[in-house]
Structure 1
Amino acid sequence: MSKRIFDLFFSLVGITILLPLFLIVAIFIKLDSPGTVFFRQVRVGRFGHEFRIYKFRTMVLEAEKIGQQITIDNDQRITRIGKILRKYKIDEFPQLLNVIKGEMSLVGPRPEVPKYVGMYTHEQRRVLEVLPGITDLASIKFRNENQLLNHNHNPEDFYINEILPQKLKLNIEYIEQMGLGFDLLIICKTLLQVIAT
């Protein structure tokens, strides 16, 4: 089975199963704060092509205009329902649509915003050789990234100089041993981590 067939099959199954949850989440988001149900943001995908990632909106309307692109723990822009969606990674579920569209994979380097991709070294740009994913090794290691950023006096600087290089190193390690078996292992580890939250 190819990676694309694997992604497409499980994304379609996932959306079918999760559709009732999607509807419930949409209702709570609309009741909780003004704005759209989905949040769409430009990210950089394979070969440097930009696309818009789908997420359930977890922050106040136009949050990017009143703060940084990174999010710290207890960020005042996060809505009440948004805290729950982020804790259990439910806000990421709409990215199954990106997978179906062929813009993402279930497993692969998490796509960054153009601002941070512009800082990649030549070696780090290797992560752009594959489709970005909903989860990856870095997502597992930095499960509590927001808390790490919250404990630093300059969160963005800490992200750029400390966290991002480690993420990219893990992503390159993934590329060097990627395969369906490895993808399944990462998906299982991700699910176990969310369940244990």
Structure 2
Amino acid sequence: MNIIHTLVIDGLRHNSDSYIFDGMSDIERIVKRFVDFFIALFAIVIFSPLFLICYIAVRREDGGPAIFKQERIGRFGRPFYIYKFRSMRIDAEKDGPALYQHERETRMTQIGKFLRQHHLDELPQLWNVVRGDMAFIGPRPERKFYIDQIMKHDSRYTFLYQIRPGVTSYATLYNGYTDTMEKMLRRLELDLYYLENRSWLFDAKILIKTFINIVFGKKF
């Protein structure tokens, strides 16, 4: 999508009942996209040895695919595939969609536990950022299965479609992983707050806080 097309769409959305105020201006959103693209591309090159180590470790444990992909809903309500290093058994969802259960989770592989604890399973999402499916900071993308359930309680979820989902988010820092509907609705409130108040400074604070949490081993 070229810059002119982006500006047209962003201009139209301010006049639609399907959108709410965005804390970033059109120019700020364009700059954010360019910065995300180049940082993600640089990070893929820098961390390529770590990518290789994770890839080999996952493959060697059970012989299954190292990369896990799953359909999520992104900007403008369009589906895309999110990429991660696989942390669960291949048949983890043989009985249908199921949320991650933290300490009660029994579907994790041994390598997967380590990757998840240190957030290394999220590394392939750098490619999602390069592609434009995601940004570094934004609401975490959800599956349609769970969006449909959230919408029964709060239809404002559609407001989140006006921005790219993120690798990390304001809601993730203060609400953690969502394994109940109560947490999903709380996450939505925080995501909407972020949307209406976001700025480069706000994004920088979220990114720094996320990095600190990862370094000190905080689970979220």
Q: TM-score, normalised by structure 2?
A: 0.80
2:203: which partner in 1? 183
Out of 141, 148, 157, which is 2:174 matched to? 141
**Is residue 2:78 matched to residue 1:45?**
no
Amino acid at match of 1:83: K
Q: Report the Cα offset of residue 122 of structure 1.
A: 2.6
Amino acid at match of 1:6: V
Extract structure 1 runs of 4+ deviating beyond 6 A: none
Supply the distance in 2 between the matched residues of 1:118 and 1:46 (Cα, whole angstroms). 16
RMSD: 1.5
Q: Report the Cα offset of residue 10 of structure 1.
A: 0.9
2:46: which partner in 1? 17
- Is the 1:124–1:169 Cα contact (8 Å) retained in structure 2? no
Supply the distance in 2 between the matched residues of 1:28 and 1:39 (Cα, whole angstroms). 14
Q: Report the Cα offset of residue 182 of structure 1.
A: 1.2
Q: TM-score, normalised by structure 1?
A: 0.88
Q: Report the Cα offset of residue 28 of structure 1.
A: 0.6
Out of 167, 172, 178, which is 2:192 matched to? 172
**Is residue 2:209 matched to residue 1:195?**
no
Amino acid at match of 2:68: F
3-state DSSP of counterpart to 2:205:
helix
Please list the CA deviations of residues 72-128 of structure 1 after superposition, one character each: whole Å capped at 9, or x if unmatched: 124211000100111111111100101111111010000000011123233222111
Supply the distance in 2 between the matched residues of 1:73 and 1:178 (Cα, whole angstroms). 30
- Is the 1:34–1:60 Cα contact (8 Å) retained in structure 2? no
3-state DSSP of counterpart to 2:94:
helix
Q: Report the Cα offset of residue 69 of structure 1.
A: 2.5
**Is residue 2:92 matched to residue 1:76?**
no
Q: Report the Cα offset of residue 66 of structure 1.
A: 4.1
- Is the 2:83–2:124 Cα contact (8 Å) retained in structure 1? yes
Cα distance change of structure 1 residues 105 and 126 upon mapping to structure 2, 3 Å threshold: same
Amino acid at match of 2:202: F
3-state DSSP of counterpart to 1:42:
strand
Report % sequence identity.
Answer: 37
Out of 121, 124, 140, which is 1:110 matched to? 140
Structure 2 portions without partners, runs of 5+: 1-27
Quick check: 62-71 or 51-60, which moved more? 62-71
Q: For this pair of structures, how many residues does the alignment match?
A: 184
Amino acid at match of 1:37: A
3-state DSSP of counterpart to 1:65:
coil
Quick check: 115-124 or 30-39, which moved more? 115-124
Amino acid at match of 1:135: T
Supply the distance in 2 between the matched residues of 1:33 and 1:166 (Cα, whole angstroms). 37
- Is the 1:34–1:61 Cα contact (8 Å) retained in structure 2? no
2:156: which partner in 1? 123
